[in-house]
C-alpha cells in the first residue's frame, strides 16, 4: 500500500480527460496535476523542446513525492516516455500504447484512423504501434491542431466547436475507417461532436481512458494502491498551471464536475517551475 499521490502532466487542460477516468476507476487515489498551458500547444514544437518542458513538469511533481507518473499528453508521450522510463525509479505510464492496444482489439477490419497533434502524427508513434500489432492494418493519420485550440480557447460544447470538428473530419469521408483513435487528450472534450461527424458505425478509442486500465495494472503489480481504509480526500487534490488559473479552474471544474477546484500558478523560471500563489487570474 502507498498513500502518495499519482502525478499527471499535460500541455494544458487535455490531460483532465485522463484524470476524469481516474476519478471514476480509481477514486481512492490522490491526484496531483500540472498543465503547461502557457506553452501549449506542444504539437508544433520540436521533440527536444517538448522533452525539456516535460522534464520541468516532472521535476516539479517529483518534489511532491509522487508514487507514479502518468504522461497524460500524446505529444509528450511520443517525445519523452522512453527517457522518463529509463531515468525515473517510479512507474511511468504514457497514453499511446494503451490507445494502440484498444484500437487493435476493437477494429473489425483493421481500418484505423488516428487524429492527433502534428507532433504526434509526425512521430509515427501510433502508426508504427498499430502496424507492429497488425501488419495488415491500414492506418490513416490526420493532424487536428484546431481541436486543441477549440478546447483551450473556446467553448468546446458550442456550435462553433461542432462545425470545426465536422469540417476537419470530412477528410475521412474518403477513408472507410471502422475505428478512430482520439490521439490527443484534449479531443474527448468534443467526443460527442466527433462521433456525430464520423457516424455511429465508427468506434472511437479514447486513449486517455484506456490509459487508466494500465495505471490500475501498475498499482497492483507494484503494490501501490492507496489504503482502502483511508481513501484519498479529493479536496486535497492539487492542480497547477503555468497559464491562467481562472480559465483552468473554469474549464477543469466543469469537466470534472468540481466547482470548488483549487488551481495554483507555476512561474517558468529558466528551466524550473516555481509555485506563485499570488497569481489568481
**Catalytic residue of the set 23, 58, 73, 79:** 73
Write the CB contacts of 125 (distance below 8 Å, at least 6 apart in sequence).
74, 77, 78, 96
Q: Which three cell numbers stand for residue 103?
A: 484500437
Q: Which three cell numbers stand for residue 277?
A: 500563489
54 in a labelled binding site = no
Q: What band does 156 get if pLDDT is binned at 50, 70 and 90?
A: confident
11 in a labelled binding site = yes
74 in a labelled binding site = yes
Q: Are 211 and 93 in contact (CB under 8 A)?
A: yes
185 in a labelled binding site = yes
Q: What band does 210 get if pLDDT is binned at 50, 70 and 90?
A: very high
Residue 200 among the catalytic residues: no
- Residue 231: pLDDT above 90? no
Please provide residue 112's backbone torsions phi and psi, each rounded to the nearest 5 degrees.
-120, 130
Whether the domain at 6-94+211-275 and the domain at 96-209 fall into the same CATH topology: yes
Cis peptide before 137 (omega within 30 of 0): no
213 in a labelled binding site = no
In this structure, the strands spanning 263-269 and 272-275 are antiparallel
**Catalytic residue of the set 90, 182, 184, 256:** 184
H/E run at residue 53 = helix 47-62
Please provide residue 92's backbone torsions phi and psi, each rounded to the nearest 5 degrees.
-125, 125
Residue 184 among the catalytic residues: yes
The domains of the chain are located at: 6-94+211-275, 96-209
- Residue 23: pLDDT above 90? yes
- Residue 154: pLDDT above 80? no
Model confidence over 72-130: pLDDT tens digits?
Answer: 999 999 999 999 999 999 999 999 999 999 999 999 999 999 999 999 999 999 999 99
% pLDDT > 90, the chain = 88
Question: Average of pLDDT values for 158-167?
Answer: 96
179 in a labelled binding site = no
272 in a labelled binding site = no
- Indicate the pTM of the whole model: 0.91
CATH number attached to the domain at 6-94+211-275: 3.40.50.1860
Top-level class of domain 96-209: alpha beta
Letter string b/e over residues 110-145, b meaning 16 or more CB atoms within 10 A of that residue's CB? bbbbbbbbbbbbbbebbbebbbebeeebbbbbbbbb
* Bridge partners for 129 per DSSP: none
Number of other residues whose CB lies within 10 A of the CB of residue 46: 10
Q: Are 94 and 32 in contact (CB under 8 A)?
A: no
233 in a labelled binding site = no
DSSP-derived letter for residue 227 is: P
Amino acid at each position: 500500500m502507498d498513500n502518495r499521490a499519482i502525478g499527471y502532466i499535460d500541455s494544458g487542460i487535455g490531460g483532465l480527460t485522463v484524470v476524469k477516468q481516474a476519478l471514476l476507476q480509481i477514486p481512492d487515489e490522490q491526484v496531483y496535476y500540472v498543465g503547461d498551458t502557457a506553452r501549449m500547444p506542444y504539437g508544433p514544437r520540436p521533440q527536444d523542446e517538448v522533452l525539456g518542458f516535460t522534464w520541468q513538469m516532472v521535476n516539479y511533481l517529483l518534489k511532491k513525492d509522487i508514487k507514479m507518473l502518468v504522461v497524460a499528453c500524446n505529444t509528450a508521450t511520443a517525445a519523452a516516455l522512453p527517457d522518463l522510463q529509463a531515468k525515473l525509479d517510479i512507474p511511468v505510464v504514457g497514453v499511446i500504447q494503451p490507445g494502440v492496444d484498444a484500437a487493435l482489439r476493437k477494429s473489425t477490419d483493421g481500418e484505423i484512423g488516428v487524429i492527433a497533434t502534428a507532433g504526434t502524427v509526425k512521430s509515427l508513434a501510433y502508426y508504427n504501434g498499430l502496424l507492429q500489432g497488425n501488419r495488415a492494418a491500414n492506418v490513416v493519420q490526420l493532424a487536428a491542431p484546431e481541436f486543441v485550440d477549440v478546447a483551450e480557447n473556446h467553448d468546446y460544447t458550442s456550435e462553433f466547436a461542432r462545425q470545426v470538428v465536422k469540417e476537419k473530419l470530412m477528410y475521412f469521408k474518403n477513408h472507410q475507417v471502422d475505428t478512430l483513435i482520439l490521439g490527443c487528450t484534449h479531443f474527448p472534450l468534443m467526443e460527442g461532436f466527433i462521433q456525430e461527424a464520423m457516424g455511429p458505425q465508427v468506434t472511437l478509442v479514447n486513449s486517455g481512458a484506456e490509459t487508466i486500465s494500465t495505471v490500475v495494472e501498475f498499482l497492483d503489480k507494484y503494490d501501490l494502491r492507496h489504503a482502502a481504509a483511508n481513501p484519498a480526500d479529493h479536496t486535497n487534490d492539487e492542480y497547477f498551471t503555468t497559464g491562467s488559473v481562472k480559465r483552468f479552474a473554469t474549464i477543469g471544474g466543469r469537466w470534472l464536475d468540481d466547482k470548488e477546484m483549487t488551481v495554483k500558478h507555476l512561474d517558468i523560471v529558466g528551466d524550473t517551475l516555481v509555485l506563485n500563489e499570488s497569481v489568481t487570474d
